[in-house]
Amino acid sequence: MNREQTDFLVVGSGVAGLRAAIELSSVGRVTVITKDVPTESSTEYAQGGIAVALSDEDEVGIHYEDTLRAGDGLCREEAVKVLVEEGPERILELISWGAEFDKEGAKKQKLAFGLEAAHSRKRILHAGGDSTGKELERVLIDKVRTIPSIKRLPFTLAVDLIVEDGTCYGAVVVSERRPLAIFARATVLATGGLGQVYSITTNPQVATGDGYAVAYRAGAVLEDMEFVQFHPTSLYLPSAPHFLLTEALRGEGGKLLNVRMEPFMSRYHQEMELAPRDIVSRAIFTEMGHTGSEHVYLDLRHMGADFVKGRFPRVFSTCLRYGFDITAQPIPVCPAAHYMMGGVRTDVMGRTNIKGLFAAGEAACTGVHGANRLASNSLLEGLVYGKRAGQSAEENALPSAEVSEKEKAFSFPSVQPHSIPAHDEIRGDLRRLMWQNAGIIRNEDSLLEAEEKIERWRYITGKSFLSRREIELKNMIDISALIIRAARLRKNSVGAHFRSDYPGKEGNWQQHTSFVKGRKV
Ligand code: FAD
Ligand code: SIN
C-alpha cells in the first residue's frame, strides 16, 4: 500500500475545511482531500446566507440570545459566545479576501441584511441573491489556490483514521480505487453532514456522514446524534430532486398554505412562517397528515415577479428548469432532512478526545446549535470554528519524528475488497426506512422497528471496500444505527427531536447524549 506524509491533513473542502487549511498553511505543508470535485459540498449549495451581527440595528448579544432560544435549552453557551463574538471578524476577513455580499441603498454601498426564521433582527448577509455558499466556496478556493503549501487531492476519500493508543496519525484513503495511507502531525475532519441517510434531503450526494462514522470507529465521542434538523421547505415535484427553497423566501413574506389553499401557520405558532425551523417543519408535516397530502404550498405570488426573480435568481431559474414558474403558481413543498446538530464532540478549539484529531463545521458538535440550529448560523460556524480548529491543530501537532516512526512501523491490515451486489438497493431501503421511522416525528415502536431492520445489514459494516458507494453505505449504516440509538435513549421532545410517545420536555432533557464505540458516556 502506498503511503505519504504531510504536516496537516484536512479532510473535506467545504467552508470549514478550507478555512482550517488556510490557517495551517503558514506553519507547514497541508494536504486537503475531498471525495469529489473540490466544490461539491453543502457549502456550495447554501442559499439563504450567513448570519452575523454587523448591521446598525443589531448586536452580538442579540444574536447570542436568538441562537440560544432556537437551540431550545441545549446550546453550550461558551460555544455560542465564541460564534457570535468572532463572527464579525471572520466576515470582514472574508470580504478582504474578495467576498462580494449583496448591497443596498441608492449607491449600493451598504451591506444588505435579510431576515430569516427565529432571528429577531435582519442579520443575514447573502450573495448573488440566493447563492451565498457558492460565493464562499469561490473566495476560499481562490485563496487556497494562491497558497503553495496547500496540496489539494480531489476524488480522494477518507476510509478510516489511523489511530493507535488514543492518538491519530492520519488516515487511510482511497484514490482511484487504490488505498493510500496519509500520515500527518494533525488531522482535521471537516466532512460535513449526513442528509443522504434520509430519502428526502436537501443535501448533496457527498453528505453521507463519513466523518462521523470514521471518527466513531476510531474511538471518538459522538454527541447529540438524535438532533437531525428538517428544513421546512424543499421542492416537491415528482420529476425533480428535493431542491431547497430557502428560508429567506419566508423571510421576505412567502406564505404557507395547505392543499386546500388555507393558511395554517397561525394555528401552530405566533411567529407563523417565521417560527423556529423545527416548529414549521412539524406544522407542515402535521398539516400534510390532516389533508392526506404529500406536500403543502409556499405562495410567493403576492411578492411580485420582478422582486422574486431579482432577489432569488437561483431558486427561480432552478424551478423553471423543472418547468415550474414560482412567480405564477404556489410551489408544492415538503420538509427534508437538512442538517446534523450533533457530531464529533469537540471543545471550542476543535479538539476531540483523540490526540491529533480535530473536527470543525457540520462534522463537529461544539454544542453551538443545541437541539435546533438557528438558520444561517452554520456557514458562520464553518468560518469561526474552521479557523479555531486550524489554530489548535498547529498548537497541538505531534512531533514529526513520532509520525515518521509510526509510518515506518505501520503494517496495514490486508485489504479484502468485498463487493455487495445489491448495495444500491440496500442504500435506497435504508434511506426510506430512516425517513419513515426516524424522521420528523418518531416513537419507540418506529425506532425499534428501524433498529431491528438495520441489524440485517450489519454484516456490511465489518467489511472493507474500495468503491465509494460501498464505503458510503457502510458509513450510512453505522450512523443510522447511532441516530436511532440516541433517539431511543432520549425519551422526551426537545428542538428537532420530537417523539410522539414523549411529546414534552420530560426527565433529564438537558443532558446530552454521547457515545464512544458502542458505549453511552
Ligand atoms: P461541507 O460544506 O458539506 O463540506 C464537506 C466536505 O467534505 C466536502 O468537500 C465533501 O466532499 C468532503 N467529504 C465528505 N466525506 C468525505 C470523505 N470520506 N473523504 C473525503 N472528503 C469527504 N447554512 C447556512 O449557514 N446558510 C445557508 O444559507 C445554508 N443553506 C443551505 C442550503 C443547502 C441546500 C444545504 C444542503 C445546506 C445549507 N446550509 C446553510 C448548511 C451549510 O451549508 C452546511 O452546514 C455547511 O456548509 C457545512 O460546511 P462544512 O465545511 O462543514 O461541510
Ligand atoms: C436556507 O436558506 O433556508 C438554509 C439556511 C440554513 O440552513 O441555515
Residue 489: give its domain's CATH number.
1.20.58.100
Ligand 1 centre from 452 Cα, in Å? 30
Residue nearest to atom 12 of ligand 1 (CA): 12
C-alpha cell at 366: 461544539
In a domain, 327, yes or no: yes
Cα(163)–Cα(514) distance, rounded to whole angstroms? 20
What local confidence, expressed as pLDDT, does residue 452 receive? 98
CA of 191 to the centre of ligand 1 (A): 7
Query: 219 CA distance to ligand 2 centroid (A)?
Result: 32
Quick check: is 516 in a domain? Answer: yes
Ligand 2 pocket test, pick from 115, 230, 244 with the greatest ligand atom count within 8 Å of Cβ, gives 244
3-state DSSP helix/strand/coil % of the chain, to nearest 5: 40, 20, 40
Q: What is the pLDDT along the chain (521 residues), one digit of tens a residue?
A: 799 999 999 999 999 999 999 999 999 999 999 999 999 999 999 999 999 999 999 999 999 999 999 999 999 999 999 999 999 999 999 999 999 999 999 988 999 999 998 999 999 999 999 999 999 999 999 999 999 999 999 999 999 999 999 999 999 999 988 999 999 999 999 999 999 999 999 999 999 999 999 999 999 999 999 999 999 999 999 889 999 999 999 999 999 999 999 999 999 999 999 998 999 999 999 999 999 999 999 999 999 999 999 999 999 999 999 999 999 999 999 999 999 999 999 999 999 999 999 999 999 999 999 999 999 999 999 999 999 999 999 999 999 999 999 999 988 776 777 889 899 999 999 999 999 999 999 999 999 999 999 999 999 999 999 999 999 999 999 999 999 999 999 999 999 999 999 999 999 999 999 999 877 77
Interval between CA 310 and ligand 1 midpoint (Å): 26
Of ligand 2's listed atoms, the one at least distance from the Cα of 247 is: 3
Taking the mean position of all CA atoms in its chain, how far away is CA 147? 27
Q: Distance between CA 372 and CA 359 in Å, rounded? A: 20
Domain-embedded: residue 394? no
3-state DSSP assignment of residue 236: coil
Binding pocket residue ranges, ligand 2, CB within 6 Å: 47-48, 246-248, 375-376, 378
Is the CB of residue 133 less than 8 Å from the CB of residue 47?
Answer: yes
Longest dimension (CA), the chain: 69
Beta bridge partners of 343: 223
Q: Give the mutation target among 41, 67, 172, 176 for probing the ligand 1 site: most ligand atoms within 8 A of CB.
A: 41
CA atoms within 13 A on the CB side of 191: 30
Closest residue by CA, ligand 1 atom 30: 46
Beta strands, E only, 139-185:
150-153, 156-164, 167-175, 178-183
pLDDT reported for residue 417: 76
Question: CA 34, CA 14: separation in Å to the nearest integer?
Answer: 9
Q: Within a domain: residue 101?
A: no
Looking at residue 115, its pLDDT comes to: 92
Nearest ligand to residue 254 Cα = 2
Residue with CA closest to ligand 1 atom 6 = 12
Question: What are the residues facing 337 on neighbouring strands?
Answer: 201, 230
Catalytic residue, from 19, 138, 277, 282: name it: 277
Nearest ligand by distance to the CA of 335? 2
- Atom 25 of ligand 1 has which residue's CA nearest to it? 376
pTM over 0.85? The answer is yes
pLDDT at position 41 is 98
Domain with 326 in it: 235-335
| Closest CA to ligand 1's atom 18 | 158
Single residue among 335, 351, 379 that ends a domain in this structure: 335
519 is catalytic: no
Ligand 2 centroid, distance to 458 Cα (angstroms): 34
CA 411 / ligand 1 centre spacing (Å) = 33
Among candidate residues 298, 316, 335, the one where a domain is terminated: 335
- β-pairing, 156-164 vs 296-299, is unpaired
Question: Which run of H or of E encompasses 250?
Answer: helix 248-251
In a domain, residue 359? The reply is no
Q: Whose CA is nearest to atom 26 of ligand 1?
A: 376
Q: Is residue 441 part of a domain?
A: yes
Pocket of ligand 1, beta carbon within 6 A: 11-17, 33-36, 40-43, 45-50, 132-133, 157-158, 190-193, 202-203, 206-207, 210-211, 244, 339, 361-363, 376-379, 382
Q: Same domain for 418 and 330?
A: no
Asked whether residue 495 is domain-assigned, the answer is yes
Strands 186-189 and 357-359: parallel
Q: What is the pLDDT, as a whole number, of residue 418?
A: 83
User: Could you tell me the CA-to-CA distances from 300 to 131, 308, 467 in Å, in that order?
Assistant: 19, 8, 44
Task: Considering every ligand atom shown, identify the ligand nearest to the alpha carbon of residue 161 and give its number.
Answer: 1
CA distance 51 to 499: 30
CATH number at residue 330: 3.90.700.10
Q: 171 forms bridges with which residues in the sheet?
A: 161, 182
Residue 258 Cα to ligand 1 midpoint, Å, equals 31
- Shared domain check, 422 and 326: no
Residue where a domain terminates, one of 335, 363, 394: 335
What's the number of domains the chain is made of? 2
Q: Is there a domain that residue 504 lies in?
A: yes
